[in-house]
Amino acid sequence: MRKIRTIGFLCLVLFAENLFANEVNIFSARHYDSDVQLYEKFTAKTGIKVNVVSGKSGALEKRIIEEGADSKADLYITADAGRLGAFDAKGMLQAGLNSAAIKAAVPKNFRTSKWVGIAKRARIVYFAPERVSGAELTGLTYESLADPKWQGRLVIRASNNIYNQSLVASLIKNNGKGKVSKWSEGMVKNMARSPKGNDRAQILAVAAGEADIAVANTYYLALMLSGKKGPEQQAAAKKVKPFFPNQDGRGTHMNISGAGLVKGAPNKANAIKLVEFLLSEEAQNHIVNNTFEYPMIAGVSPHPLVVNMGLDFKQDLNTKVVSYGKRQADALEVMTAAGWK
């Protein structure tokens, strides 16, 4: 009788483990309903249930750290390589995202063995065509945004914004901390107002005549042009034009939305399968047509609104995005020292 009970108990344990193994837990800072639709497609294909915990990056990271070995998180999905790099530096990610499928899909500069990009973003300049001449834009670089000719004409987000921190980190990687310290001082002098608002707020400021140029990610303009943010923002978006900096040099600054494999992930194999799915042609088409980001893999076209902004621009494919996290502290230091609020 005791043996029968033992066998029955073992069967229950194995059954429970099998159920547990047939899921994957995502902690996601991405706020797109379309991502949930994508996870449903993954479940339909594989039978693996996707559990999603949504929230802001800081709160999600804090929870994973505090739960430690008890955390059920398998994947941490967020925007910006700087965030993923900083989280990795805290020892919260593990190797495993280096399968043949992942390596074949994601260029080397957009991945590590612990986290990989699933979509790309470009941080560019927007300008008011009636107030900014073609001659002023010729050869425009991120570095030349600190030129005195832009004094009182520039809007950009606050120094605590991760997108700006990664942009400045990339500048430090390419130009050195000393030069970027002086650049940051020039940027502050050129600001038309103290930094406030998100990327859309910068584009709206240019449209309203509060500034002549703005720095913002490409998908924000496409989102506004799509009408999803209302007719007023759609009309404002039509008043500005995009410009891709550094075309005569290393290329336009690129960043990612990415997935990190959490240390101690209880469903590691399923997490890897999900990342591989996110890098499939089907998933990439779904992502770019809903979030207006650039595809990570070759052979997939961005949304038509993004294509219309200019598709054949030179991307910076040499600056590894892993450097954004490594230089993040330096970036914040130089911006703060310059008085970048």
Q: pLDDT per residue over 164-195, tens digit each?
A: 999 999 999 999 999 999 999 999 999 999 99
CB-based contact 295:117 (threshold 8 Å) = no
- Cβ atoms of residues 123 and 313 within 8 Å: no
CA-based R_g, the chain, Å: 22
For residue 153, give the amino acid letter: R
- 310, 244 contact by CB (below 8 A): yes
User: CA 196, CA 158: separation in Å to the nearest integer?
Assistant: 6
Ranges in the chain annotated CATH 3.40.190.10: 2-120+256-302, 121-253+321-337
Confidence check: pLDDT of 244 > 60:
yes
Picking from 223, 215, 237, 242, the residue whose alpha carbon sits closest to that of residue 292 is: 223
Report pLDDT for 21: 61
What pLDDT does 32 receive?
A: 86
User: Which has the closest alpha carbon to 118: 269, 287, 270?
Assistant: 287
pLDDT in tens, 262-312: 999 999 999 999 999 999 999 999 999 999 999 999 999 999 999 999 888
Quick one: what percent of the chain has pLDDT higher than 90?
Answer: 91
Within 10 angstroms of residue 109's Cβ, the number of other Cβ atoms is 18
Give, in words, the CATH class of 121-253+321-337: alpha beta
Residues 81-123 pLDDT 10s: 999 999 999 999 999 999 999 999 999 999 999 999 999 999 9
Q: What whole-number distance in Å separates Cα of residue 297 and Cα of residue 201?
A: 30
Whether CATH 3.30.70.1290 fits 2-120+256-302: no
Instruction: Quote the pLDDT of residue 31.
Output: 86
pLDDT: which is higher, 12 or 80: 80
- Look up residue 85 and give its two tokens: 């790099």
**pTM summary value:** 0.90
Contact 291, 219 (CB under 8 A): yes
Say if CB 205 and CB 187 are below 8 A apart.
no
